[in-house]
């Protein structure tokens, strides 16, 4: 095996390197080398089994489906530099095949593609895969964004976007995906019926929300909306989707209803309702609960 790169990894790269054995090692710094799609880690701290243990770690795999060569290169370069394994396809049909074959940990998916468009790919993948999908959309294509989120994309970026923004979204999606997996693996017992983010908590059985253990006085629809947002933490949810899920298809009111209820909720859960940090407005689409 040929040595490709040598890097000192720290907690700066939690998404790229998974070291379950080392969870309790404080202030851990490891030396890692990449061989193909593997990282080999050398430990330099007081790891008990001895110095220079080598633990192979699989890199997180990210599939990029994008037909613009310049953007392919930039995305690929930046994601590799963060320690991800990157696979690039420039055509929709090949992209779909690659997604099914390599089972990536995350997909960055352009909408306008030769062969098959990103919306169709998402629709097909969602029938059997839960892989996080970040869509790339053209400016002013609001309809694509809404549709993409409706059919199961997890997030989107509007071109042109900064690489810093993209990397932040990638990390957020991988972290969220891992939390969900951990939850499924630990199979929360039936009595576990609370969702908690910081000082905010809701009890799903009592339909009760608290901040710092103080009960909030919420109208039924405010509670329903809050629960829906918390259950989709980190995801953009469109007004239309919220209306459908919280108020139901037959609801006669418009999406203004959602905005009004969000405003009421913000007054109850935001430290500063005039500058929301928990329920974020995603312009042209809807809302995202940050945590």
* Residue ranges in contact with Ca ion by CB under 5 A: 67, 110, 112
Nearer to Ca ion, 110 or 155 (CB): 110
* CA dihedral sign of residues 38, 43, 48, 49: positive
Nearer to Ca ion, 67 or 231 (CB): 67
Nearer to Ca ion, 67 or 82 (CB): 67
Inter-residue contact 62 to 86 (CB < 8 Å): yes
Nearer to Ca ion, 102 or 138 (CB): 138
Q: Find where tokens 């090949």 sit.
A: 94
Q: Find where tokens 């929300």 sit.
A: 209
Residue among 72, 37, 79, 28 at smallest CA distance from 56: 37
C-beta of 91: minimal distance to Ca ion in Å? 10
C-beta of 126: minimal distance to Ca ion in Å? 21
DSSP, collapsed to helix, strand or coil, labels residue 4 as coil
Nearer to Ca ion, 57 or 153 (CB): 153
Nearer to Ca ion, 123 or 175 (CB): 123
C-beta of 112: minimal distance to Ca ion in Å? 4
Inter-residue contact 84 to 60 (CB < 8 Å): yes
Nearer to Ca ion, 112 or 157 (CB): 112
C-beta of 172: minimal distance to Ca ion in Å? 23
Q: How far apart are CA 51 and CA 150, in angstroms?
A: 50
Give the Cα-Cα-Cα angle 286, 105, 32 (nearest 5 degrees).
Answer: 125
The H or E element spanning position 34 is strand 30-35
Does residue 218 have a cis peptide bond before it, meaning omega lies within 30 degrees of 0?
A: no
Q: How far apart are CA 272 and CA 263, in angstroms?
A: 12
C-beta of 132: minimal distance to Ca ion in Å? 20
> How many helices (H) and strands (E) are present in the chain, helices listed first?
8, 16
Measured from each CB, the residue nearest to Ca ion is 112
Q: Find where tokens 């609370």 sit.
A: 194
Residue 227 CB: number of other CB atoms within 10 A? 17
Q: What is the dihedral of CA 83, 84, 89, 95, to 10 degrees?
A: -170
Nearer to Ca ion, 105 or 144 (CB): 144
């Amino acid at each position: 095996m040929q040595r490709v790169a040598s890097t000192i990894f720290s907690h700066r790269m939690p998404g790229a390197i998974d070291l379950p054995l080392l969870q309790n090692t404080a202030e851990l710094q490891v030396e890692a080398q990449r061989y193909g799609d593997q990282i080999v880690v050398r430990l330099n701290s007081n790891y008990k089994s001895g110095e220079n243990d080598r633990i192979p770690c699989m890199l997180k795999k990210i599939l990029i489906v994008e037909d613009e060569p310049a953007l392919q290169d930039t995305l690929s370069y930046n994601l590799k530099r963060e320690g991800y394994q990157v696979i690039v396809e420039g055509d929709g049909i090949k992209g779909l095949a690659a997604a099914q074959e390599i089972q990536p940990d995350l997909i960055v998916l352009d909408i306008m593609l030769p062969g098959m468009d990103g919306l169709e790919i998402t629709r097909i993948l969602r029938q059997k895969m839960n892989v996080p999908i970040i869509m790339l959309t053209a400016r002013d294509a609001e309809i694509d964004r809404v549709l993409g989120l409706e059919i199961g994309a997890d997030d989107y970026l509007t071109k042109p976007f900064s690489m810093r923004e993209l990397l932040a979204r990638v990390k957020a999606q991988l972290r969220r995906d891992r939390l969900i997996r951990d939850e499924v693996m630990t199979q929360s017992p039936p009595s576990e019926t609370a969702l908690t983010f910081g000082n905010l908590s809701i009890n799903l059985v009592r339909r009760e929300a608290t901040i710092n253990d103080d009960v909030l006085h919420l109208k039924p629809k405010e509670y329903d909306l809050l629960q829906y947002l918390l259950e989709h933490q980190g995801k953009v949810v469109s007004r239309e989707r919220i209306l459908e899920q919280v108020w139901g298809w037959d609801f006669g009111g418009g999406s203004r209803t959602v905005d009004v209820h969000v405003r009421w909720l913000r007054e109850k859960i935001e430290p500063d309702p005039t500058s929301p940090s928990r329920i974020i407005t995603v312009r042209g689409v809807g809302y995202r609960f940050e945590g």
